[in-house]
Amino acid sequence: MSPVFLLRLGLDCLALGLFMAAMAYWWMDNRTHEVIGTGMFALLVLHNGFNRRWYGGIRRTRRQAKPIATVGLNLTLVAAMVTLLITSVLISQSLFGCLAIGGPDARDMHILSAYWTLIVVTLHLGLHWSVVMNVVRNMAGIRKYRLLRTMLLRFIAAGIAACGVYSSFELDIGSRLLLIPTMQFWDFNADTAGFFLRIGSIAGLYVAIGHYGVTALQASRHRPVSQSGPLRR
């Protein structure tokens, strides 16, 4: 496997890690939050630079389930990230304070775009989860299919997804995605690790939805259509 590819994958994982760390705003001071966010956006610029040819091939996208889903989701992710970046600058208090002209509306939009980005970026990861699994297989030297191992991994994935559903209600993700005021805030003084476990399980939930969702779409497209024979008199 190419070292450059592994480096790119590592940088993408680092960007995701920084994004999830930035979600814990009340756990850190504002300057740290902005530094983490700036680092994440720098990695995203690299990611888009590495994948710049993809944008030129959008018009040639095949009319199949996974390519269409990938294009739609990627463009949604770009829109969410651009919104997140613009609102970050507008409400900056430290690194870009001289450009900060936003008020409460910009702050609300920043929070809204952050939670939608969490959903869309993990769905995006789910669409490419087969690539991640292939990398892990190659690094672990796994060459043969084992039913027991596959069933165990699927059981673990189902458990993470179930925790993600529970965590979504516990953190009131639905209200945040709809910009509905909520009184549910995490107490980082009582349990910091618990927040990251819950955010991680929510991410795992949407990775699973993205992966198995596109797998189901592909399977339905390749399912043979039954054709009745000629009618007999």
pLDDT in tens, 52-80: 888 877 777 666 656 777 888 999 999 99
Average pLDDT of span 18-32: 94
Query: Between 129-140 and 3-22, two packed helices, what is the crossing angle to 10 degrees?
Result: 120
Instruction: Compute the average pLDDT of residues 205-230.
Output: 74
**12 pLDDT exceeds 70?**
yes
DSSP 60-121: G--SSHHHHHHHHHHHHHHHHHHHHHHHHHHT-SSTTGGG----HHHHHHHHHHHHHHHHHH
Spatial CA neighbour of 74 closest among 5, 131, 126: 126
Give me the pLDDT at residue 4, please: 84
Could you tell me which residue, 37 or 50, shows the higher pLDDT?
A: 37
Domain boundaries, the chain: 3-221
Distance CA 209, CA 226 (A): 29
Q: What is the pLDDT of residues 117-174, one digit of tens each?
A: 999 999 999 998 999 999 988 888 888 888 999 999 999 999 999 999 999 999 999 9
State the pLDDT confidence band at 192, using cuts at 50, 70 and 90.
very high
Question: Which of these, 226, 10, 19, 4, lies nearest to 122 by C-alpha position?
Answer: 19
